[in-house]
């Protein structure tokens, strides 16, 4: 089939999504509320999702898909989990928001504090972006310093000073990677490559006394999945402490997903501050940042660092988060998710043994990624060649045709949930060879 006839066939299959997309493009920039949803990396019409149930999503045309996006991380229990629906419905019936403290936020904060040793106090916000922005503000206030060190390939939300170009592998001054961000806003951001103790040591030797915080996704999952060496994370901890800087773990994806105590537990490293989102909100808009009491004490109203939110600690969102964490505990989720991930890996290993083109599976617990990089999966962020991106796009659509919904970008990790059954994993494994064969 030619590209045009393929596109035409897809349009017919997804007629209602296509119609909605046309309408959306008139009134919403790019037709979407967040760019990756627009399918630009894979082509075609984004699916408009009408509903989800367990591991399935159903599009506006009534077709069902096995979902490996999971709303990009929050849905660790799957879609429309009965316990979450019950908790949210009950909370909503009592009123949706008060702009005053509520019991549920205390309970969720207590739950986070008991699960995550670095967290003595927690402040809730409404997104991961806000969580990171606020953690950095408190880190700067606490240290009285300005510089932030981040790593190329790590995403920390869309706050101005963190929208900095993924570096070229060298220590570099921050340059905005988005229009609308003045260079002055990123002048206090330094970008280093992942996996490089040397570059970090050099930066600290050069300007360590100016560094307020080093921020990292301890399990980088926004440029594919790039698990780091423990020694590298230990070097971050050591260098930050030596130079009086704070270490911030951005666990917006990994928090309560890869272990009860997140990646910090997995690696046995304690950050000074941590950011959460996704899982702790059970599918509702929630973020949080947490840390030692003496650092968090800088926040208003006790301290001089302002941070606030109309819907922060929202009772309905807190109820969803609590119901999710309850279910995770009840179902010994982390062991289960690891064994499902291991099962998927076992099923896929023989299928990936002799690929027609470079392809590698990377997995940590319930997060996995198929790397289309010719030079193999790595620990540092590297762009895909255009032929590799094109392979992914073809693979994506071939999987979609087989009823499997993957993230529509070659740089996004795939998410497993407790709702993915053995049958679902077998479905993925069954679809894979044919989808790979469809890649030109
Ligand atoms: N940090 C990390 C590690 C993330 O993955 C994300 C979003 N994917 C964010 C921060 C920003 O979170 P949000 O989209 O909720 O603002």
Q: Tell me the per-residue pLDDT of 148-170, one tens digit each, with 9 for 90 and over.
A: 999 999 999 998 888 874 333 33
Q: For residue 192, what are its two tokens?
A: 């280093």
Domain span including residue 172:
82-330
Tell me which DSSP letter residue 92 carries.
Answer: H
Q: For residue 121, what are its two tokens?
A: 């106090």
How far does residue 412's CA lie from ligand 1's centre (Å)? 12
Q: For residue 315, what are its two tokens?
A: 């009772």
CATH number at residue 33: 3.90.1150.10
Q: For residue 437, what are its two tokens?
A: 């064969």
Number of domains in the chain: 2
| Same domain? 432 vs 367 | yes
Q: Tell me the per-residue pLDDT of 194-239, one tens digit each, with 9 for 90 and over.
A: 999 999 999 999 999 999 999 999 999 999 999 999 999 999 999 9
CA distance linking residue 145 with residue 155, whole number of Å: 22
How far does residue 414's CA lie from ligand 1's centre (Å)? 15
| Same domain? 228 vs 295 | yes
User: Does residue 250 have an active-site annotation?
Assistant: yes
CATH number at residue 208: 3.40.640.10
> Is the pLDDT score of 310 beyond 90?
yes
CA distance linking residue 176 with residue 216, whole number of Å: 18
Q: Tell me the per-residue pLDDT of 393-429, one tens digit each, with 9 for 90 and over.
A: 999 999 999 999 999 999 999 999 999 999 999 999 9
| Same domain? 113 vs 251 | yes
| Same domain? 7 vs 127 | no
| Same domain? 305 vs 358 | no
CA distance linking residue 251 with residue 287, whole number of Å: 10
Mean pLDDT, residues 277-284: 98
- Of 296, 330, 364, the last residue of a domain is 330
- Give me the catalytic one of 116, 155, 267, 411: 155
User: Does residue 278 have an active-site annotation?
Assistant: yes
CA distance linking residue 125 with residue 116, whole number of Å: 18
- Give me the catalytic one of 65, 67, 278, 414: 278
Q: For residue 144, what are its two tokens?
A: 């009285």
| Same domain? 379 vs 359 | yes
| Same domain? 192 vs 242 | yes
Residues with CB under 6 A from ligand 1: 72, 127-129, 132, 155-157, 217, 222, 250, 252-253, 277, 287
Using the atom order of ligand 1, give the atom closest to the CA of residue 127.
15
> Is the pLDDT score of 353 beyond 90?
yes
| Same domain? 18 vs 104 | no
How far does residue 148's CA lie from ligand 1's centre (Å)? 17
| Same domain? 326 vs 361 | no
Q: Considering only residues 179 and 177, tell me which one the structure prediction assigns the higher pLDDT.
A: 179
Whole-number pLDDT of residue 164? 77
- Of 295, 330, 365, the last residue of a domain is 330
CB 129 within 8 A of CB 159: yes
Q: In what order do the strands lie in the sheet with 404-405?
A: 49-53, 56-59, 64-67, 404-405
CA distance linking residue 18 with residue 403, whole number of Å: 18
Predicted TM-score (pTM) of this structure: 0.96
End-to-end distance of the chain based on CA atoms, in angstroms?
11
User: Does residue 150 have an active-site annotation?
Assistant: no
- Of 280, 314, 330, the last residue of a domain is 330
| Same domain? 344 vs 321 | no
CB 324 within 8 A of CB 79: no
Whole-number pLDDT of residue 161? 84
How far does residue 154's CA lie from ligand 1's centre (Å)? 10
| Same domain? 188 vs 209 | yes
| Same domain? 355 vs 391 | yes
């Amino acid at each position: 089939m030619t590209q045009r006839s393929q596109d035409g066939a897809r349009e017919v299959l997804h007629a209602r999504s296509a119609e909605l997309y046309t309408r959306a493009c008139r009134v919403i920039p790019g037709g979407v509320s967040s760019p990756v949803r627009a399918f630009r990396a894979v082509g075609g019409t984004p699916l408009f999702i009408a509903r989800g149930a367990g591991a399935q999503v159903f599009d506006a045309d009534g077709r069902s898909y096995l979902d490996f996006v999971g709303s990009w991380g929050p849905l660790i229990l799957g879609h429309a989990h009965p316990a979450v629906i019950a908790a949210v419905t009950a909370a909503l019936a009592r009123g949706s928001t008060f702009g005053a403290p509520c019991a549920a936020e205390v309970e969720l904060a207590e739950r986070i504090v008991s699960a995550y040793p670095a967290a003595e106090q927690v402040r809730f916000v409404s997104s991961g972006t806000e969580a990171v922005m606020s953690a950095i503000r408190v880190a700067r206030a606490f240290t009285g310093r300005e510089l932030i060190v981040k790593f190329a390939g790590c995403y920390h939300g869309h706050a101005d000073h963190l929208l900095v170009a993924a570096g070229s592998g060298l220590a570099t001054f921050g340059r905005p990677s988005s229009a609308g961000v003045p260079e002055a806003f990123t002048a206090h951001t330094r970008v280093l490559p992942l996996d490089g103790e040397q570059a970090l040591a050099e930066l600290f030797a050069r300007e360590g006394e100016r560094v307020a915080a080093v921020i990292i996704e301890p399990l980088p999952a926004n440029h594919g999945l790039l698990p780091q060496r423990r020694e590298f994370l230990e070097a971050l901890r050591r260098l930050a402490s030596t130079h009086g800087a704070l270490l911030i773990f951005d666990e917006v994806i990994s928090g309560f997903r890869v272990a009860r105590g997140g990646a910090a537990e997995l690696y046995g490293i304690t950050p000074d501050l941590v950011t959460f989102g996704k899982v702790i909100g059970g599918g509702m808009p929630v973020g949080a940042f947490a840390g030692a009491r003496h650092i968090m004490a800088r926040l208003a109203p006790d301290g001089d660092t302002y941070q606030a939110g109309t819907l922060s600690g929202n009772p309905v969102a807190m109820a969803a988060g609590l119901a999710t964490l309850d279910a995770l505990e009840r179902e010994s989720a982390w062991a289960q998710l690891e064994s499902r991930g291991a099962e998927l890996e076992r099923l896929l290993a023989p299928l990936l043994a002799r690929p027609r083109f470079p392809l590698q599976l990377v997995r940590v617990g319930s997060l996995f990624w198929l790397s289309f990089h010719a030079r193999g999966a790595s620990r540092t962020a590297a762009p895909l060649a255009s032929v590799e991106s094109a392979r992914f796009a073809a693979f994506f659509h071939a999987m979609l045709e087989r009823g499997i919904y993957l993230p529509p970008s070659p740089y996004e990790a795939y998410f497993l949930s407790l709702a993915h059954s053995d049958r679902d994993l077998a479905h993925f494994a069954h679809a894979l060879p044919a989808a790979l064969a469809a890649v030109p």
